[in-house]
Amino acid sequence: MNELLKPKVIISKCLEFDHCRWNGNIIKSPFVDLLKSYVDFHPICSEVEIGLGVPRDPIRIIKEEKLKLIQPSSSEDYTEKMETFATKFLNSIDIIDGFILKSKSPSCGLKETKYFYDIKPGSAVIDKGAGLFGREIMRLFPHAAIETEGRLMNFRIREHWLTKLYTLRNFRKVKESESTNKLIDFQTRNKFLFMAYNQNLMREMGKVVANPFKKPFKSVSEEYEKLLFNLLKNPPEYTSHINVLMHALGYFKKELNTREKAFFLDELDKFRAGWIPLFIIIELIKSWLVRADNPYLQKQSYFNPYPEELMNFDIKDTWRGRSYWNPREKRDLG
């Protein structure tokens, strides 16, 4: 299928890399451990970087007119140190494709970090949001693939994050090549994938690649990149996936018999109802590609957007108790 390059990912060092949590622990993450073979990880602990030791007394965010990062045991204010480090470190980054951050952390959290009323024991939680380091990441890298290890246990969130991560990495190679032919090939290989995300933007991207006014590569790639960022902002709707899968079925009119087509449509109904995840139907189509000589379909990234070893990760856990992968489920997946 397609070449899959190693994305560059900054990760909270306490996730599988070092015993640097406030209590001296390391956080085990089977998914992060698996990713080590497929991702170029760059671990960082922002709290250690600003001088906090291991172990250390916890810090928390106090919500006043401005968010403050305070260590209750000492009443020390680490706000300026964290903001200075975050700005300096993140501005020093030349190339990055994604981030995996510690969920709920006062430094690295993205959405679920607790904001307290004051530093007193038992103080009320009055809001939730990003940690100070995580907030700066989202400000400076709004288009990167950014998630926490906790949210990546959700099947659909993980699927979207991986797809975005590898798509951005592959596009980075195209930009570095400064080759119009490679940009055209990138658009062609990703047509089904982009169709699933947003058909209108997919068509706009095709027009940019066509380049009727013969603009220089840099101008075309920058315009294309803005559309790509917009397209990958949110995961596809399940109805868009169904449209793409039906479109793919049309390429096998001669290869499939009536019973095979009926089986496929039954499986599609199961996906529509939320009974099975997307990758099961994709695997079915990939099995047809083994016997069907169709170079156009064989190179479509939609059927292999990231290493398949990551596709089947921890299915039982993501299905347990709740339908985390249910395509109809309206959850905060962005």
To the question of pTM greater than 0.95 for the whole model, the response is no
Contact 153, 314 (CB under 8 A): yes
In single-letter form, the type of residue at position 148 comes to T
With 90 as the cut, is the pLDDT of residue 247 above it? Answer: yes
Q: What is the reported pLDDT for 154?
A: 87
**Dihedral of alpha carbons 205, 209, 215, 216, sign:** positive
Q: What is the reported pLDDT for 313?
A: 66
- The pLDDT of 27-39, averaged and rounded, is 95
Does residue 188 sit within a domain?
no
- The pLDDT of 276-295, averaged and rounded, is 90
Residues 14 and 147 in one domain: yes
Does residue 125 sit within a domain?
yes
Give the count of beta carbons closer than 10 Å to the beta carbon of residue 234. Answer: 13
Please give the residue range of the domain that contains residue 140: 8-153
Domain count, the chain: 2
Residues 29 and 146 in one domain: yes
Q: Report pLDDT digits (tens) over 183-202.
A: 999 999 999 999 999 999 99
Q: Which of 153, 180, 195 is the last residue of a domain?
A: 153
Contact 33, 1 (CB under 8 A): no
